[in-house]
Structure 1
């Protein structure tokens, strides 16, 4: 089984994935980290040096490679992964994949992401928390179509990382 976590940046995918992998004794993978390792630079550096288009192509290549692997794992996607190329189709047609959407309220995402604004290439240009909130709201509206096609949708707005991991475990 391949447990795949999707959702907007700041929804807790990476932290939940790590905890869940420990609980289930599975390999934990973070798609952005795999890309960073392969490219020998951070996602922010890839965006600035090579472009978002280059990053999205690499994201698709690495996702295909990981999904072709026969071993079970937990995979945390980047926030935009399901929305580009044929990534959602790859996830949906793979019978081993169980796709979970970690859905969080816009205000919760804004609070979390405002603290990390310098390390997130897509939001670095936002001047203040209000602009960030508007940006996230617009992005979520665009991405909701893709996220909502997940096998399981979990509202994580008021859940801890532990509670979210436990809920995913129950839904398997």
Structure 2
């Protein structure tokens, strides 16, 4: 079984993905980490030198490569992964897609601390961060809502996630 974790940046995908992969005894991959490893550049460097479109093309290629190579895996996807090139449909066809539906206030609290590592929000003043996240989350929600399951990240336990995946 392939499990794709989606959600906005800062929603907890990598955290829960690692725990879930251990619980299910599946390999874990963070798609952003795989992109960095394969390209030899940070996400920020890719955005700055190649632009977002080239990043999204690389993201799609590696999403499909990991899927082809692993019948069982837990994959933490980037926040924008489901929103480009039909990736949400691809993931739904090849596994179970779980949206970690994290509240806006939790996202803002986490992301204000991580801005320097996030190319899409790095240069946004803290005072404007909540409105920018609100807009981007609104734009992406159309894709996130297509997941097989939507789970509220703030109240999750590992047991709840696994049970939801196995019983849906």
Same fold (TM over 0.5): yes
Corresponding residue to 2:109 among 111, 116, 122: 111
Say which structure is richer in helix: 2
SS at match of 1:123: coil
Q: Which residue of 1 aligns with 2:118?
A: 120
Cα distance, 1:93 vs structure 2: 2.0
Q: Which residue of 1 aligns with 2:90?
A: 90
Cα distance, 1:70 vs structure 2: 4.1
Cα distance, 1:69 vs structure 2: 2.2
- Distance in 2 between residues matched to 1:33 and 1:108, nearest whole Å: 23
- Distance in 2 between residues matched to 1:36 and 1:86, nearest whole Å: 22
Q: Which residue of 1 aligns with 2:98?
A: 100
Cα distance, 1:3 vs structure 2: 0.8
The number of equivalent residue pairs is 165
Q: Which residue of 2 aligns with 1:159?
A: 155
Pair 1:148-2:145 in alignment = yes
- Distance in 2 between residues matched to 1:124 and 1:46, nearest whole Å: 14
SS at match of 1:55: helix
SS at match of 1:104: coil
Structure 1 runs (4+) deviating above 2 angstroms are none
Cα distance, 1:91 vs structure 2: 1.0
SS at match of 1:23: helix
RMSD value, Cα: 1.1
- Distance in 2 between residues matched to 1:79 and 1:54, nearest whole Å: 16
Pair 1:134-2:127 in alignment = no
- Distance in 1 between residues matched to 2:70 and 2:114, nearest whole Å: 35
Describe the superposition over 1:99-158 as per-residue Cα deviations: whole angstroms up to 9, x where unpaired.
000001111100000000111000011111x311001100111001100000010011x3
- Distance in 2 between residues matched to 1:41 and 1:11, nearest whole Å: 24
Cα distance, 1:168 vs structure 2: 1.3
Unaligned runs of 5+ in 1: none
Q: Which residue of 1 aligns with 2:79?
A: 79
- Distance in 2 between residues matched to 1:77 and 1:70, nearest whole Å: 15
- Distance in 1 between residues matched to 2:10 and 2:160, nearest whole Å: 18
